[in-house]
Amino acid sequence: MILYPSCKINLGLHILHKRTDGFHELDTCMFEVPLYDILEIIPSTKFEFSSSGMEIPGDSQNNLCIKAFNIIQNKHDIPNIKMHLHKQIPMGGGLGGGSSDGTYVLKMLNTIFKLNLSNSTLEEYASLLGSDCAFFVNAGSQIAKGRGEKLTPIHLNLNGYYIKIVNIGIHISTPDAYNGIEFQQHEKTITEIINSDISSWKENLKNDFEHSVFKKHAILSDLKKELYEEGAIYASMSGSGSTMYAIYKELPKSEKFKQLNPVYEIIKKL
């Protein structure tokens, strides 16, 4: 079985306060983007995991695809599988590609082994993998609260717009991004802002991580300014960064940022 795990951007991200459990209370809109990895799973006599495409750093036992298999096998006693991931979504940049891969493993195993797990159960399992994993059970556009696992669908039609995704290779760890947070006051919720006209997003739709991240990495602030100069309706950092994205009415130019030496740049029609 072959499926194509997608990724997401954060349309606004309010960090409201630190919780007693050590996590932070969030308010954000996660929006699915048509940029995909490729994941294949087939039954096997022994467990195997392999990958191609972009190199996946770190210990393989920390890979969310393997963790997802372990969750399902421990809870439902499924047989072994052979799994191959072709990685195309940039890692560690706030796009949730790894989270999507892990969640798609849950969904695929549910189908392959006819486990008949409900979406709510899959979301519960996905939340064991990470805070933004549950989003990818249904994807689309959803308001995420709590630590990212409390999801509510929201109608958001960006069909016909273009999105440019740019990553210039700066690594920002999520703990470091949170350590620099200065809690902001927010007059409106993310839902209220998203439901307003897209022309108002530039002034009102904020990612709270930008305040601290841009202090350390001014080049990202410069990149955001250039995205607007190029004609973007809205530009932002996704998640805790460092991937930047911009939304356009018309097809943007693709050679604008060569002077910044982006390691990844792609334009997609939504």
87 counts as catalytic: no
In degrees and rounded to multiples of 5, residue 92 shows phi and psi of 65, 25
Residue of 27, 37, 101, 132 marked active site: 132
Element (H, E) at 164: strand 162-167
Helix (H, G, I), strand (E, B) or coil at 52: strand
Q: What is the end-to-end Cα distance of the chain in Å, rounded?
A: 26
Give yes or no for a contact between 141 and 153, defined as CB atoms under 8 angstroms apart: yes
Q: Which of 2, 26, 24 is nearest to 12 (CA)?
A: 26
C-alpha separations of 68 from 113, 176, 235 in Å: 14, 26, 33
Compute the chain's Rg from CA coordinates. Answer: 19
27 counts as catalytic: no
One-letter amino acid at 5 equals P
Q: Any bridge partners for residue 163, and if so which?
A: 247, 268
Q: Which of 35, 29, 12 is nearest to 164 (CA)?
A: 35
Question: Which residues form the catalytic set?
Answer: 8, 132
